[in-house]
Amino acid sequence: MEPTDTSKSDYFHKVVDCQWACPAHTDVPEYIRLIAQGEFTDAYMVNRASNVFPGILGRVCDRPCEPACRRGRIADKPVAICRLKRVAADQRDDISALLPKTPDQKNGKRIACIGAGPASLTVANDLLPLGYEVTIFEQFAVPGGLMRTNIPAFRLPASVLDEEIAYIVNMGADLRLNSPIHSLKKLLQDSLFDAVFVGSGAPKGKELDLPGRHDTNRVHIGISWLESVAFDHIKEIGERVLIIGVGNTAMDCCRSSLRLGAKQVKVMARKPRQYFKASQWELEDAEHENIEIVVNHAPKSFVSEAGRLTGMLFEKLEYDIENGEITKTRNLGEVFIPCDDVILAIGQENAFPWIEKDIGIEFDPWSVPKVGSQNFQSTLKQVFFGGDAAFGPKNIIWSVEHGHQAAISMHKFCQNESIDDRLPRGVTLSSRKMGMHEWAFKNEYNGAERRLVPHVGLVERFKKINVEVELGFTAEQAALEVQRCLNCDMQTVFAAPLCIECDACIDICPVDCLTITHNGTEADLRTRLKAPAKNVAQALYVSTGLPHTGRVMVKDEDVCVHCGLCAERCPTAAWDMQKSNISIPHAINQKAVACQI
C-alpha cells in the first residue's frame, strides 16, 4: 500500500465515526468532553454550530451517529450521544449573547424561504448574520414544519421547539405565519426576492387503495392525522386501532392513539421484524407501552358494514429467508382483524401543487425536483430546494445539513460567484501531550455500560397528550455516560522517521490494532496484522518505510480505543496523541466581497 496521506481532512474525519456519520458533522467528542467538564453552554454552542437545534435533536434525532459509534464495535453498546445532546440543551445557561449577530447594515439581498421547517430555518440562521433579509412563508399559525405537526408533543414538547425557533426568528427573520404560497410563479414575478429556498417538506402521506377504502371515514392518512392531533382538530379515536406500516410515523401514530383513548392498538407489519423501518428505540418505546406489533400480515381490504368500519382483511404470509433476503413467500390464508379506526403510515411523498409546470423547474416522474446534489440548486437558477422537499423524506438532521449547503449556494449566487466553488473541509491537529505520560484529555478507558434514560411511569404519562415521556439523564447518569466516549478525535499520529521498531506500542495496545510488517496490498495486509482486520469499512493506516528495517507501521483504525498507551510507551515520541479539528465550512466562512463589512 502507498503510505497513508493523513493531510486530507477525510482520513481523520472518518476516524471520528460519529462525526463522519452525522449529516451535519456535529463535533460529538468535543461536546461530550465539554459536558464532562460541566461546560453545558459551550457544549450546546458546539452542537448549534452544526446542527442548529440541539434541544430538538437531543430528543428526536434519527441518530445516525449511534450505530456508527466505535464503542458498538467492541462488544458494547454505543455511547448515548443523542441523550447527551439533550443534557447540554437542558443544562445550558442563557445563550442569547452567544448567538450570531445580525448586522444593522443589510447587504441589500433578499431571500424567501417557503415553509418554516428545519431546512428553511437553517438557511435563515446562516444568511441573517451575513446581512441578508430573509422572509419565511409558513402555511400554519406556528412555525416548525413537520417537527411540529408530525412529532407528537409527548416526544418533543412545544416549548423546546418554540425556544430554538425563536433564536433564529429573533435574529431578524421576517416570519409570515398563515401565509401559504399558492403560486411560485407569482412569487417570482413579483421580483421581491433575489433567491428562493423551497423547504416545504414531503407533506403527502401515501394512500393504500384497497377495496373498501372509501366506504368509511375511519381510515386516516398517518401524517395528516398526526397534524390534526397536533393542532387539536382530532381529540379522540376508537377503542381498537390498526396502524398499517412499521416506520417511525407508525410508532408516533400508535402511541398518539393510546393517548386519545384507544385501548387496543395493533401495528400491522407485512414482513418480519428484521425488515422494520422504525428505529430500534422507537420500537422499544412503543412496545413498552404495550403496543402489539403483528408481523407477516399484508393488508387485503377494508371491511365496513353500513358505512361503519368493522375491521380489515389481511393475508397471513410466511417467508423463506436466506442471508437476510426473502427467497420465497407463501400465503397462509385470510385473517380478519376487527377495528374501529385504521391509520395508514406507509410513507410520504413530495407534492408541489403550487409550483407551476411552465416556470422552468423540472421534476422527475415522482414529483421530486431535479436538484444539484451538492449545491441544492434547481433547474431554475434562483430557486433552491432543501430538506424533504429536495430528495424526498429523510429526517431533521439531513434537513439542517441541506439548509447549510443551500445557504452557501444562495450566498454565492447572490454575490455573483460560482456556487460550486465552495471551501473544502479542512483538518488541523494539535498535540495533547502535557508530560511524559500525561495527556490533556482523560485517556482511561471506562468499561461502564450504556445508561438507560429514565421515563415517566406508565400511568402518569397517559394523563395528558403532551406529557414528555423521556426525562433526560440525571446528573449522575450523564457524568458516567460521558466517560464512555472514546475520544476518537484524539488521533494517534505517527512519525515514521522517529521509530526505532522497539515494538512497545504493539505490545501495549489493548485492542491489537498495531503491527510492524513488510508492506503488501491492502487485502494481503489485512490478513497479516496482529488481529485480523475484517472490517473493510475502516481504514488501514500505513506509514512510510521505517528507518531501521524498511518495514511499515500498520494501524487498523477499526477498534482503536484512543487510550494513548501507544504514545505513552513510545520512547521516541513517534506516536503522539493529537486532537483533530475538522473544519466544516458554512455560509459565514465563505469569502464573498459584499460581506467584508
Partner 1 sequence: MSYINKPRVAHPSLPTNSLGMTRRQYEGSMSTLCAGCGHDSITAAVTEACWELSMRPERLVKLSGIGCSSKTTAYFVSGAHGFNAVHGRMPSIASGANAANRELTYIGVSGDGDSLSIGIGQLVHVIRRNVNMLYLIENNGVYGLTKGQFSASADIGTKAKRGEVNATAPIDPVLLALSLGATFVARSFSGDKAQLVPLIQAGLRHNGFALIDILSPCVTFNDHEGSTKSYTFARENYHAVVEADFVPPAEEIAVEYAAGEAVPVKLHDGSQVVLRKLDPSYDATDRSAAYAYIEAKLKKHEYVTGLIHIDENSSTEFHTLNHSATLPLNSIPYEKLSPGSAALNKLMNRYR
- Site map (CB under 8 A) of partner 1, residues 291-310, x = contact: --------------------
> H-helix or E-strand containing 525?
helix 522-527
- The answer to whether 61 contacts partner 1 (rule: CB under 8 A) is no
Instruction: Look at the chain and count its residues.
Output: 597
Tell me the backbone φ, ψ of residue 8, rounded to 5 degrees: -70, 140
- The answer to whether 208 contacts partner 1 (rule: CB under 8 A) is no
- The answer to whether 565 contacts partner 1 (rule: CB under 8 A) is yes
- The answer to whether 536 contacts partner 1 (rule: CB under 8 A) is no
Total residues interacting with partner 1, rule: CB under 8 A: 37
For residue 556, the minimal CB distance to partner 1 (Å) is 9
- The answer to whether 563 contacts partner 1 (rule: CB under 8 A) is yes
Residues 440-479 binding partner 1 (CB under 8 A) are 443-445, 447
| CA atoms of 400 and 423, how far apart (whole Å) | 18
CB crowding 119-146: b at 16 or more within 10 Å, else e: bbbbbbbbbbbbbbbbbbbbbbebbbbb
- Closer CB to partner 1, 561 or 587, in the complex: 561
- Closer CB to partner 1, 289 or 512, in the complex: 512
| CA atoms of 28 and 63, how far apart (whole Å) | 12
Sole window of 100-108, 213-221, 270-278, 495-503 interacting with partner 1 (rule: CB under 8 A): 495-503
Q: Do the bridges between strand 308-322 and strand 297-305 make them parallel or antiparallel, or are there none, so unpaired?
A: antiparallel
Near partner 1 by CB under 8 A: residue from 427, 511, 588, 592 = 511
Near partner 1 by CB under 8 A: residue from 108, 572, 589, 591 = 572
Sheet holding 540-542, edge to edge: 514-517, 552-556, 540-542
- Closer CB to partner 1, 428 or 572, in the complex: 572
Residue 526, phi-psi category: left (phi > 0), alpha (psi -120 to 50), beta (remainder) = alpha
For residue 444, the minimal CB distance to partner 1 (Å) is 4
- The answer to whether 498 contacts partner 1 (rule: CB under 8 A) is no
| CA atoms of 261 and 55, how far apart (whole Å) | 29
Residue 174, phi-psi category: left (phi > 0), alpha (psi -120 to 50), beta (remainder) = beta
For residue 517, the minimal CB distance to partner 1 (Å) is 10
| CA atoms of 36 and 34, how far apart (whole Å) | 5
Residue showing cell 448549534: 48
Sole window of 55-63, 96-104, 303-311, 526-534 interacting with partner 1 (rule: CB under 8 A): 526-534
- The answer to whether 527 contacts partner 1 (rule: CB under 8 A) is no
Residue type, 532: P
| CA atoms of 295 and 306, how far apart (whole Å) | 30
- Closer CB to partner 1, 502 or 594, in the complex: 502
- The answer to whether 230 contacts partner 1 (rule: CB under 8 A) is no
- The answer to whether 130 contacts partner 1 (rule: CB under 8 A) is no
Q: Where are the alpha helices (DSSP H) in 170-324?
A: 184-189, 222-230, 248-259, 280-288
- The answer to whether 531 contacts partner 1 (rule: CB under 8 A) is yes
- The answer to whether 552 contacts partner 1 (rule: CB under 8 A) is no
- The answer to whether 495 contacts partner 1 (rule: CB under 8 A) is no
For residue 434, the minimal CB distance to partner 1 (Å) is 11
- The answer to whether 571 contacts partner 1 (rule: CB under 8 A) is yes
Tell me the backbone φ, ψ of residue 488, rounded to 5 degrees: -65, -15
For the range 331-335, what are the long-range contacts, defined as Cβ-Cβ under 8 Å and sequence gap of 24 or more?
Answer: 334/300, 335/297
Q: 552, 426, 566: which is closest to 490 by C-alpha?
A: 566
Near partner 1 by CB under 8 A: residue from 559, 582, 584, 587 = 559
Q: 55, 35, 54: which is closest to 43 by C-alpha?
A: 35
Near partner 1 by CB under 8 A: residue from 194, 356, 512, 522 = 512
Distances (CA, A) of 243 to 22, 267, 271, 339: 30, 5, 14, 10
Residue 108, phi-psi category: left (phi > 0), alpha (psi -120 to 50), beta (remainder) = left
Residues 73-102 binding partner 1 (CB under 8 A) are 73-76
- The answer to whether 438 contacts partner 1 (rule: CB under 8 A) is yes
- The answer to whether 526 contacts partner 1 (rule: CB under 8 A) is no
Structure-block grid coordinates of residue 436: 511524559
Do 204 and 224 meet the contact criterion of CB atoms below 8 Å apart?
Answer: no
- The answer to whether 539 contacts partner 1 (rule: CB under 8 A) is no
- The answer to whether 524 contacts partner 1 (rule: CB under 8 A) is no
Sole window of 70-78, 224-232, 301-309, 310-318 interacting with partner 1 (rule: CB under 8 A): 70-78
The contact set with partner 1 (CB under 8 A) reads 73-76, 436-438, 443-445, 447, 500-504, 506-508, 510-513, 531-532, 534, 548-549, 559, 561, 563, 565, 568-572
